[in-house]
Amino acid sequence: MKMAIPRNLPLLIIADGVLLPGSSMRVPVNNPKNMVMVKTHILRYNTLSSTVIGVIPRRAGSEKDDLSEIHDIGTAAVVVQVTGTNWPKPAYTLLVTGLCRFKVDKLLQEDPYAMARITQLDKVPGDGEEDMSSVNVAETFRLHANQLLEMLDVSVPIVGKLKKVMEKLPLTRLPDIFASIVKASYDEKLQVLDAVDIEERFQKALPLLLRQLEGLRLLKEAKKGGDRSVLPPGLKEKDTIILKPPRFRSRDAERRDRDSDGDEISELEGKIKAAGMPEHAAKACEKELKRLKKMPAAMPEYAMTRNYLELMADLPWSKESDDTLDITKARVDLDADHYGLDKLKKRVIEYLAVRQIKNSLKGPILCFIGPPGVGKTSVGRSIAQTLGRKFYRISLGGCYDQSDIRGHRRTYIGSMPGRIINGLRTAGVNNPVFLLDEIDKLGKGLHGDPAAALLEVLDPEQNFTFTDHYLNVPFDLSQVLFIATANSAATIPTPLLDRMEIIHVPGYTQEEKAEIALRHLVSKQLKEHGLTEEQLQFTEDGIKLIIARYTRESGVRALERKLGSVCRAVAVKVAEHQSRQKSIASPSVEEEEKKEVAPRQRPTEDALIEMPPEMPIVIDKLAIRDILGPAIYEREKSERLSQPGVAIGLAWTTMGGEIMFVEAAKMGGDRELTLTGQLGDVMKESAQLALTWVRSHAAECGLDQKTQEDLLRKTDVHIHFPAGAVGKDGPSAGVTITCVLVSLFSDRCVRCDTAMTGEITLRGMVSAVGGIKEKVLAAHRAGIYRIILPKRNETDLEEVPKNVLSQMTFVFARTLEDVLDAAFEGGFPHLKRTVVSEDVIPSKL
C-alpha cells in the first residue's frame, strides 16, 4: 500500500529512544503537548492521514517543553494502536511503526502541540527501492544479519518473523531494522537515524551488528568452557543478551532476573501461604498468582494484580488480639477515664461478662446517641483500651459514595478497598474496635447510598460473609466490635437503626461538669499550655462560675475552651515573670557598671507593684471575671416573665435540652394567627390547636365578655419563639403555647419559677413527649427548679441524676386544666375538670 507523507506533520517528541524506519516502538504519552496531540489529532479524526505523525527525539538533558532542543531529523510513523484510559486521568501508550526519515524545515506551531513543515529524506515502503549497485557493503550486511538470526531462538516472535521475510526484505531496510533490535546506545541509534545516505547508513549499522555477533559467539564459548574472561574488554556481558534465546543466557543474567522479579513473587507467595486464609480466599489468591507469574511486568494489570495479592496477604484472616477479661479492672479503668456515663459502662461490663463465659460471642453493634461534647468518641477509645484491642476510627460525616464502605471493583483503574477492609489492614487483627463516627451525617449521592452499604456491615447475621467489591471474596467481620456515634436518631435510616443497639448519652449536670473539670480537663489544659499545679490552681467555685455563667451546653467542649482561655492568660503572666527573672539573673555590662557607682537603694512602691504575683496563681470568682469578662448567660427569667403573654418551655435538640421563652401579642384584626421563629409544621399545628382550645374555653378561663368576643371575632394573635435563626419543630410546645395564650388574654403572668413541656390534643388532654432527662437538665442549668410534665412521663425521671431530682419539684398533668392550675398563681377555679389531676409531687425518687 502506498502511503503519502504530508508536508505538515504533528510531532510526537520522545526523550528515551530513537524510532528508525521499519521498526516499531511503544511510546508512553507523558508530555502535555503529546497528550493534546493524541486527543485532538489522532483520536478525533477517523482517517488514515490522521494516524501519520512525526516521531522526533529530543536532545539529552533538555527541558520537556523546550522545542528548540529537538533533533533536526525524525521518523515519519503510522500509529498502529492507542491504548490507555481517560479515568481517573488520561494516560495513553502509542504503538508506532516507522515509515521514512524527514527533516524539520520550519516549526509551524508550538501550542497546543508541536506542528512542523518537513522534507521527506527517503522513500516510503511501496514507492520503489533505491539503487544498491554502488553499495558494496550491502550483501556483507545481509550475510551477517542471517548469521545473527541463525544464532537466535526461532521461538522469539520477532526472530521468527524476520527469518520468514528476510529474503523478501529490501536491502535498504536492513540497517534500520537490525540497528533497532541489537544492543545499541542512544547516540549510536541517533547516528544511524542521521545517516541519510544509504552507504553511510550501512557503515554505521554494520559495526553494531558485528559487535552483537561477536558477543554471542564469545558467550557461547564461555558457557561451554566455563570461562567468561574471554569477552573482549570493550564488551560487557549484558550487551549481548538483548535478543539471545534462553539457552544462551548467562547464569548471572538469569540470577539478576530472578532477584528482581522471581524473588519478589516468591516472597509474596510465602506471605500468602502464611496469612492463614480460609479456603475460598486461598483459591482466589492462587488463581491471581498464576496469572501474575505469566504476566509481563510492564503490563498495567501487573501492578493491579500485585497490589491485590499484597492486600490479601496483609489482611488479618486469622490474627486476633486476646481480650482482657478482668471485669474488676475494666470497671476501675472506665471509671478513671470517664465520669458518669453509667449506661455505657454497664453495657461494656455486660459484654465482658458474657465474653468470659462464652468465647465465641459475636461482637455487639452499639450506637451512642447524644449531644456533642459528652464523650461518645473518647468512650469508644477507652473501651478498646479496656478490652486490650486495637482501635480504628472511621469518620462517616459527609460520606456520599457507597464505595467508601464496599470498595471499588477491580475493573476500574485506581480501584481500592473500602474503609472497612482498609481499617482491618491497618489494625492488623480481625477483632478490633471500629468507631463509626457521625453515622447520622451520611449522605446519598450519585454513586449509591453508603447507609445501605452499611446494612451488611452492621448486621450480625450477615457480616460474617462481608464481601468488599475490591476483594471479591467474603471476610468475617463477626468478631469486630462496632461502635457508632450520632447526635440524633432522626436522620439515621430506619433499617440501619434497627441493626444497632441504641444507647442514649444525655448531657451532664453542673455538678458532673465540675467533677469532670477537676478530674480531667484542668490537668489536660495545664499540660497543653506548659503549666504546672505550682503555677496555677482552679478553685471549685471558680469552675462552677464558668459552668453557670460562661457556658450553656450539654457537653464540656465550651468549658474546656474557657479553661484554656484562663490558662493562656496565666501563661502570659508566667512568661513575663520568667523574663524578669532572667534579666535580673544576667544583667548587662552597663547595668553592672551603674550598680558599682550608685549606692544600694530600697525598691520603690512602683517597683513593688510591678513585681509578679506569688505562685501559684489561684483562679477564683474574681479572677474569672477579670480574665473572661462579663458573664455571657444571666438568669433573666424573672424579668422576662414579669408581663403577661410569656412562658418558659422545654425543648430537646441534638445539642441537648434547651429552655425556650415563648412570647405572644394580640392586636385588632380578622382572627389571623402569625407564627415566627423558623417553626416546623408540627409546631405550627400545635399553636393552632392551642388557640382553638383557648377560644373554645374562653369563658371557663375567666375572660370577660368583651375579651371573649374580641378573641373570637376581632383579634389577631402573633406567637414568637426567640432565636429565630434556629429551626424548631416538635409537638412538645403545645402546653407552653396554651399557657402563653391564656396569660395574654387573661392578663395574668405565668409563674417565673416554672417551665413546662407536653403535647396537647384538641380535647385538652396532655400527651407524653420524649427527651425528659435532657429537658430537666436544661431547666436545672438555667436555675428553674419547678417543672410541669405529662403524667405519662413520670417514669422517665428515673434516668435523671438523684442530686438533680432532690432540688427539683415536678407537677404531673393529665389535662390542660391541670397545667393552667400549676402554671398560674391561684389557678383557674372555673375550669371544668374532666380528669382529677395529681397533687404537686416533690421529687424524692
- What contacts 110, CB < 8 A, 6 or more positions away? 33, 67
Measured CA to CA, the distance from residue 11 to residue 18 in angstroms comes to: 14
CA distances (Å), origin 618, targets 40, 542, 563, 576, 608 = 74, 9, 13, 17, 20
Measured CA to CA, the distance from residue 186 to residue 529 in angstroms comes to: 63
Half-sphere exposure of 370 (CA within 13 A, CB side): 24
Out of 321, 732, 746, 837, the active site residue is 732
Q: Give the amino acid at 605.
A: E
Contacts of residues 87-92 at CB distance under 8 Å and 24 or more positions apart, as own/partner, are 87/412, 87/413, 87/414, 88/413, 88/414, 90/35, 90/39, 91/29, 91/413, 92/28, 92/29, 92/35, 92/38
Measured CA to CA, the distance from residue 453 to residue 401 in angstroms comes to: 9
Measured CA to CA, the distance from residue 690 to residue 762 in angstroms comes to: 8
How many residues are listed for the chain in this entry? 845
* Beta-bridge partner residues of 675: 719
Buried b (16+ CB within 10 A) or exposed e, 108-134: eeeeebbbbebebbbbbbeeeeeebee
Indicate if 273 belongs to the active site: no
If you ran DSSP here, which 8-state letter would residue 714 be given? I
Query: In which element (H, E) is residue 516 found?
Result: helix 510-516
Measured CA to CA, the distance from residue 690 to residue 737 in angstroms comes to: 6
Asked if 137 and 202 touch (Cβ cutoff 8 Å), the reply is yes
Contacts of residues 528-532 at CB distance under 8 Å and 24 or more positions apart, as own/partner, are 528/564, 528/567, 529/564, 529/567, 529/568, 529/570, 529/571, 530/571, 531/567, 531/570, 531/571, 531/574
Q: Nearest to residue 242, comparing CAs of 142, 143, 159, 174?
A: 159
Measured CA to CA, the distance from residue 310 to residue 305 in angstroms comes to: 9
Measured CA to CA, the distance from residue 653 to residue 814 in angstroms comes to: 25
Sign of CA dihedral 60, 61, 62, 68: negative
Asked if 107 and 130 touch (Cβ cutoff 8 Å), the reply is no
Indicate if 236 belongs to the active site: no
Measured CA to CA, the distance from residue 30 to residue 28 in angstroms comes to: 6
User: 842: helix, coil or strand?
Assistant: strand
Q: Which burial class, exposed, middle or buried, applies to 259 when counting CB atoms under 10 A from its CB (0-12, 13-18, 19+)?
A: exposed
Peptide bond into 616 cis (omega under 30): yes
Half-sphere exposure of 344 (CA within 13 A, CB side): 29
Q: Nearest to residue 554, comparing CAs of 660, 653, 661, 436?
A: 653
Asked if 402 and 457 touch (Cβ cutoff 8 Å), the reply is no
Out of 183, 376, 773, 775, the active site residue is 775
- What contacts 273, CB < 8 A, 6 or more positions away? none
Q: Give the amino acid at 205.
A: A
Q: What's phi and psi for 438, nearest 5 deg? A: 55, 50
Task: List the grid coordinates of 461.
Answer: 447475621
Measured CA to CA, the distance from residue 677 to residue 724 in angstroms comes to: 4
Q: Give the amino acid at 392.
A: Y
Measured CA to CA, the distance from residue 636 to residue 646 in angstroms comes to: 13
Catalytic positions, written as ranges: 732, 775
